[in-house]
């Protein structure tokens, strides 16, 4: 079955979870990793994963959610959470240069510190990088992220550039550091992504939905959910000239390989024995 390697389904109304997961399984999605964006939100992700055998958690502080510098107490809490069996990735962490994003120094310090937590626990790093418009100068979010990932030895636990929307030259930088590239529904509409989708090595591709509540879409049926993973797989298959089954097989194996020691419970879910 497919693995949705990055979502935020724990942020949905609890009454919706059963339906979301039922629709996911019907679409051949056997496991979903739901990522926390603050310490408290990470606890919610873990709580949901604890009660659902096909849901797994990520923990982390999203760069856009930093109301102040990350404290030692925050890092201790995140480290304690990272040790729990429901947790399979350090996520969501990263760098965000959108206009209203928090202080960039706070972001960089938090990213570096959380990478060290991930390394301590052997957790893959699923990271967020977002520019301010078409920001390709020497201080772009991508350049900052690459420098921190390299300097922090983040390639040791590995991980992925989630919801990738950059150009091939940027994907190549992350690949050179040992990371995967994760595609989402943006692949269906951003033609510039097709070059990366063609060129990324077969053993470095992942797929995701980044599914979170979307009340700005008035039609609830149009909200992105893990059930949409096959749409991404079909587009990726079309671009690469293979079958959607091929994409399912390789992206699932890639995700399990990325998860390393944390893959055992996820493997049970996607092999249909959960």
The structural domains of the chain, with segments of one domain joined by +, span 2-270
Whole-prediction pTM: 0.95
Q: Can you give the pLDDT at residue 178?
A: 96
Give the CA dihedral 226, 200, 178, 133, nearest 10 degrees: -70
Of 256, 264, 265, 272, nearest in space to 3 by CA = 256
Q: What is the pLDDT, as a whole number, of residue 138?
A: 52
Supply the pLDDT for residue 134. Answer: 54
- In order along its 274 residues, the chain shows pLDDT tens digits of 999 999 999 999 999 999 999 999 999 999 999 999 999 999 999 999 999 999 999 999 999 999 999 999 999 999 999 999 999 999 999 999 987 889 999 999 999 999 999 999 999 999 999 986 654 455 689 999 999 999 999 999 999 999 999 899 999 999 999 999 999 999 999 999 999 999 999 999 999 999 999 999 999 999 999 999 999 999 999 999 999 999 999 999 999 999 999 999 999 888 865 5
Main-chain phi, psi angles of 6, to 5 degrees: -160, 120
Residues 127, 145 contacting (CB under 8 angstroms): yes
> Can you give the pLDDT at residue 271?
83
- What CATH topology corresponds to 2-270? TIM Barrel (3.20.20)
Tokens 């102040």 belong to residue: 68
- What pLDDT does 135 receive? 47
């Amino acid at each position: 079955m497919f693995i949705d390697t990055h979502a935020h389904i724990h942020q949905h109304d609890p009454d919706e979870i059963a339906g979301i997961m039922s629709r996911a399984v019907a679409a051949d999605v056997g496991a979903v990793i739901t990522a926390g964006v603050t310490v408290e939100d990470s606890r919610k992700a873990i709580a949901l994963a604890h009660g659902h055998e096909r849901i797994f958690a990520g923990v982390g502080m999203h760069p856009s959610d930093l109301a102040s510098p990350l404290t030692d107490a925050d890092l201790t809490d995140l480290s304690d959470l990272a040790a729990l069996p429901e947790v399979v990735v350090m996520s969501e962490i990263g760098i965000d240069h959108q206009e209203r994003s928090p202080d960039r120094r706070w972001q960089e310090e938090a990213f570096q510190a959380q990478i060290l937590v991930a390394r301590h626990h052997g957790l893959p790093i699923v990271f967020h990088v977002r520019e301010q418009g078409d920001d390709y100068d020497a201080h772009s979010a991508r350049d900052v992220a690459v420098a921190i990932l390299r300097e922090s030895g983040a390639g040791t636990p590995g991980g992925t550039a989630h919801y990738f929307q950059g150009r091939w030259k940027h994907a190549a930088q992350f690949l050179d550091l040992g990371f995967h590239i994760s595609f989402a529904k943006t692949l269906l509409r951003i033609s510039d992504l097709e070059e990366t989708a063609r060129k990324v090595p077969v053993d470095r591709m992942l797929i995701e939905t980044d599914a979170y509540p979307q009340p700005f879409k008035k039609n609830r049926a149009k909200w992105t959910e893990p059930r949409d993973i096959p749409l991404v797989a079909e587009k990726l298959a079309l671009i690469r000239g293979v079958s959607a089954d091929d994409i399912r097989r390789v992206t699932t194996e890639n995700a399990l390989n990325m998860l390393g020691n944390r893959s055992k419970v996820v493997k049970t879910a996607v092999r249909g024995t959960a």
